[in-house]
Structure 1
Amino acid sequence: MLLADDEAMVRAGVRAILDTDDAIEVVAEAADGVEAIDAVRHHRPDVAVLDIRMPRMDGLAAAAEIRSSVPETAVVILTTFSEDAYIARALGDGASGFLLKSGDPRELIAGVKAVADGAAYLSPRIAKRVIAELSSGPGGGIMARAAAAKERVSVLSPRELEVLALLGDGLTNNVIAERLFLVEGTVKAYVSAIFLRLDVTNRVQAAILAREAGLTTT
């Protein structure tokens, strides 16, 4: 994975946490968004962990560029800033995870592993904010959103709905494949088709839609 933060001390601390898990290897570090993009293009890591406020290019802009140019690399935002605008922009630009530096170190390891496996991960504090946002505000009532979500997913085939439901439960592609007795490549094709037909850009957005439509079991 790649780790990008403009503060060397922070990078060292985050790396120390990640190094406690033998399944995670930090292959490169970067001090700004431009370096992060270059490193991702060179190393092609499974995951890029990015701070938001960095010189030359911030983490949100870097995340959007990485997801566009190297889509196989999942992006996790790790930051001290939890403003709604940052969360919305990060998820809208395709980030698969949003974690707070003030959170439990175990959340960082769990989040990196989750997005590496093709799932999405939000820190508990961020998840609560997202859920609250989905259930409030103009046009944001639970019933209204459920009706709109059901209308959107009605364009999917029965098999696509099955895949979307399991995606909404937070399952990775390989687990979905096992559940539905499919090969993982077929599941990836279904996920790509679902993203296209629902006009979403990442698993977080698809999972939220699945939950709003009442497809999930957890």
Structure 2
Amino acid sequence: MTNDITILICEDQTLMRHGLCTILELEPGMKVIGETADGEEAVASYQALRARNMTPDIVLMDVEMPRMNGVQATTALIASHPQAHIIILTTFDYEDYVFDAIKAGAMGYLLKDVPASDLMATIRKVHAGEPFIQPRLANKLLIEFGRKGRGLSTRPQSSRTFPEEDLSTRETEILKLLAEGASNRKIAEQLGLAEGTVKNHVSNILSKLQTENRTQAAYLARERKLF
């Protein structure tokens, strides 16, 4: 169908990328015309498709990708192709990510845990020229605008005070395994600890790092190159 909404998927996780492709291909009126695994590929693929008169109607852009992240890729695409309709689809809901993505020119921002029906609805809205930010993220965007105005930021970053010296040797070991994606049970088995003990250590780690969950703690640890 010539009036299908054409989509370019930019996602570095193979399983997630293929899953999105499958879901979108099953949706009437939508067609995936390209898949990329990093930001540089995203920009190159968009330009190549455009050269073939196959400019994607929608670009689904992950934030955390190798070589060039989603915000950088969005900035590059909008700079050369202002008409590009980009939806950020990511695991992270840090205020800075939302702010930076919208500032870069993204027309939509969704977390990856949204139902498929919400993703389809957002694609249709953005395709129609209507910007959309997931409601739970809208307040975060307003908060970040306020923080930016006062020179503040809430996303974990290298300049943030990081109490790494407060982590015990055992907590550092657990944080490393946590960052590798190990469950509490797996960590307990590997370190010869009770699962309840690991759970307590994880709670202490989150508290010391001032993070809300395991994903944020792992991200911060990797960003600070603790291992």
Q: Which bracket does the TM-score occupy, shorter chain normalised?
A: 0.5 to 0.7
> Is 2:41 aligned against 1:35?
yes
When normalised by structure 1's length, the TM-score is 0.59
Partner of 1:66: 77
| Number of residues of Structure 1 aligned to a counterpart in Structure 2 | 139
CA shift in 2, pair 1:51/1:92, >3 Å: same
Paired residue type of 1:41: Q
| Conserved 8 A contact 1:47-1:112 | yes
> Is 2:30 aligned against 1:24?
yes
* Structure 2 counterpart SS, 1:29: strand
Partner of 1:14: 20
Q: 1:92 aligns with which of 103, 119, 124?
A: 103
Partner of 2:8: 2
CA shift in 2, pair 1:138/1:52, >3 Å: closer
Partner of 1:189: none
1:87 CA displacement: 0.4
| Identical columns (%) | 33
| Partners of 1:3 and 1:137 in 2: CA distance | 32
> Is 2:89 aligned against 1:78?
yes
Q: Provide structure 1 residue ranges, at least 5 long, that are not aligned to the other structure.
A: 141-218
Which aligned segments of 4 or more residues in structure 1 are displaced greater than 6 angstroms? Answer: 136-140
Q: Provide structure 2 residue ranges, at least 5 long, that are not aligned to the other structure.
A: 1-6, 50-54, 151-227
CA shift in 2, pair 1:133/1:38, >3 Å: closer
Q: 1:48 aligns with which of 46, 54, 59?
A: 59
What is the 5 A alignment of 1:1-218?
1-43=7-49, 44-131=55-142
| Conserved 8 A contact 1:40-1:70 | no
* Structure 2 counterpart SS, 1:66: helix
Q: What do you get for the CA RMSD once the two structures are aligned? A: 1.9
CA shift in 2, pair 1:84/1:132, >3 Å: closer
CA shift in 2, pair 1:88/1:20, >3 Å: same
| Conserved 8 A contact 1:46-1:72 | no
Larger radius of gyration: 2
